């Protein structure tokens, strides 16, 4: 996801909500009215101390230090005419107001500088993480050993940290093997973990005859890493002979199988998952070994693998995105077209942005 910056390279401030903008405008109007009354009414009272609010108001919703600085200097310049108009107010009051305006102007300007610097550092860090993530996630070919393939990756909202979603599709001596995974962690550490999983999968998938053994290799690779709080949920699929496929589910969301249905929609069901099996890096705690389960994957069937960034997207009422139900209402289409529809529907449902990265991998069996 892109991040807006101004002409000077500073991050642009997020747009204030409508109500917040109204409150700021109202505050400026009240401040202007107070100064006008002070200049035209009783010289025995003054509102000059209120001018200290001007640079604070100016610092709201900006990442440009000169804005509160110039507004503060303008407010400071108003103290002199107010002092002349309020000649019965002690001079000490106006001097105190001037020093207060100057002090708060300095603080407001420094605060904008600090916030802009911090946001620029976060922007640079996120950009590095996104570049690394996109380098790792190579787009698969559109056609792969009798399968038609499409993938979509959705970056989260700008304020969210980069996630560790990962996917792969490989032709191997044992059939086409697919991987969809999600690192439970964020930032560069998650990208590093995703890189380790993908590297191990790309090697093990080519030499291990058993898909369960591939999952075991992934778990062992995670176990050799330094202990931490990260683990990886993963779904591994192997497409072999006509009508046959196999699933090893390492604590991940079950893939969805879609077939043309009645009334222009699709019949959607979850691929049966073996008994609950732990995510990668946790097999040693649970004991045992990973097991695969065969399932029917006929000509014309479409298989959808995805991460929880899809199913945990929420609408304005806080309801999760019902992926299977929304798919069932969509017309049958090639994988790329179907994923485009899902992405458009998902973003509309979530109000235009996601709180977590989301990945979708769709494959259709052509023969």
pLDDT value at 139 more than 60: yes
pLDDT of res. 90? 82
Q: Which residues contact 317 (CB under 8 A, 6 or more apart)?
A: none
pLDDT of res. 83? 79
Q: In what order do the strands lie in the sheet with 175-183?
A: 164-172, 175-183, 232-239, 243-250, 293-297
Q: Which of 54-58, 169-173, 254-258, 346-350 has the lowest mean pLDDT?
A: 54-58
pLDDT of res. 1? 42
Report pLDDT digits (tens) over 23-38. Answer: 888 888 888 887 887 7
pLDDT of res. 49? 83
82-111 mean pLDDT: 85
pLDDT of res. 2? 43
pLDDT value at 329 more than 70: yes
Indicate if the alpha-carbon torsion angle 281, 287, 290, 295 is positive or negative: negative
Report pLDDT digits (tens) over 304-315. Answer: 999 999 999 999
pLDDT value at 268 more than 90: yes
Q: Which residues contact 141 (CB under 8 A, 6 or more apart)?
A: 149
The residue ranking higher by pLDDT, 228 or 170, is 170
- Residue 191 region, left (φ>0) first, then alpha (ψ -120 to 50), else beta? alpha
pLDDT of res. 293? 93
User: Averaging pLDDT over each range in 1-5, 48-52, 329-333, which range is the top one?
Assistant: 329-333
As a whole number of angstroms, the distance between CA 326 and CA 317 comes to 17
For the entire predicted model, the pTM comes to: 0.70
The residue ranking higher by pLDDT, 156 or 183, is 183
Q: Which of 93-107, 128-142, 200-214, 273-287 has the lowest mean pLDDT?
A: 128-142
Percent of the chain at pLDDT exceeding 90: 48
* Residue among 318, 298, 293, 307 nearest 365 (CA): 298
pLDDT value at 206 more than 70: yes
340-347 own/partner pairs: CB under 8 Å, 24+ apart: 340/152, 342/152, 342/310, 343/152, 343/154, 346/154, 346/310, 346/313, 346/321, 347/154
Percent of the chain at pLDDT exceeding 70: 87
pLDDT value at 161 more than 60: no
pLDDT value at 122 more than 50: yes
CA angle 135, 137, 138 (to 5 degrees): 85
pLDDT of res. 136? 76
pLDDT value at 282 more than 50: yes
Report pLDDT digits (tens) over 249-262. Answer: 999 999 999 998 87
Q: What is the mean pLDDT of the chain?
A: 86
pLDDT value at 160 more than 60: no
């Amino acid at each position: 996801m892109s991040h807006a910056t101004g002409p000077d390279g500073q991050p642009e401030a997020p747009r204030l909500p409508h109500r917040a903008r109204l409150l700021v405008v109202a505050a400026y109007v009240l401040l202007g009215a107070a100064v006008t009354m002070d200049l035209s009414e009783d010289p025995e009272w003054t509102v000059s101390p209120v001018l200290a609010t001007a640079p604070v108001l100016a610092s709201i919703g900006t990442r440009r230090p000169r804005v509160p600085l110039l507004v503060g200097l303008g407010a400071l310049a108003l103290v002199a005419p107010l002092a002349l108009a309020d000649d019965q107010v002690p001079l000490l009051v106006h001097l105190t107001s001037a020093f207060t305006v100057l002090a708060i102007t300095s603080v407001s300007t420094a605060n904008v500088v600090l916030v802009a610097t911090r946001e620029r550092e976060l922007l640079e860090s996120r950009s590095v993480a996104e570049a690394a993530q996109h380098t790792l996630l190579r787009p698969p070919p559109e056609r792969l050993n009798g399968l038609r393939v499409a993938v979509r990756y959705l970056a989260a909202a700008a304020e969210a940290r980069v996630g560790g979603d990962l996917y792969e599709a490989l032709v191997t001596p044992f059939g086409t093997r697919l991987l969809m995974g999600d690192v439970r962690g964020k930032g560069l550490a998650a990208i590093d973990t995703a890189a380790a999983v993908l590297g191990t999968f790309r090697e093990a998938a080519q030499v291990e005859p058993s898909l369960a053994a591939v999952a075991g290799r992934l778990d062992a690779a995670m176990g050799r890493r330094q202990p931490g709080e990260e683990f990886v949920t993963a779904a591994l699929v192997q497409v072999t002979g006509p009508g046959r496929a196999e699933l090893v589910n390492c604590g991940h969301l079950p893939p969805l199988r879609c077939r043309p249905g009645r009334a222009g929609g699709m019949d959607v069901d979850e691929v049966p998952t073996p008994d609950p099996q732990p995510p990668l890096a946790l097999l040693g705690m649970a004991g045992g070994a990973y097991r695969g389960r065969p399932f029917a994957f006929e000509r014309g069937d479409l298989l959808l693998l995805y991460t929880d960034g899809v199913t945990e997207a929420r609408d304005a009422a806080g309801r999760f995105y019902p992926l299977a139900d929304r798919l069932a209402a969509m017309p049958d289409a090639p994988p790329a077209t179907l994923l485009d529809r899902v992405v458009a529907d998902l973003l509309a449902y979530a109000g235009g942005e996601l709180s977590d990265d989301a990945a979708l991998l769709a494959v259709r069996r052509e023969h």
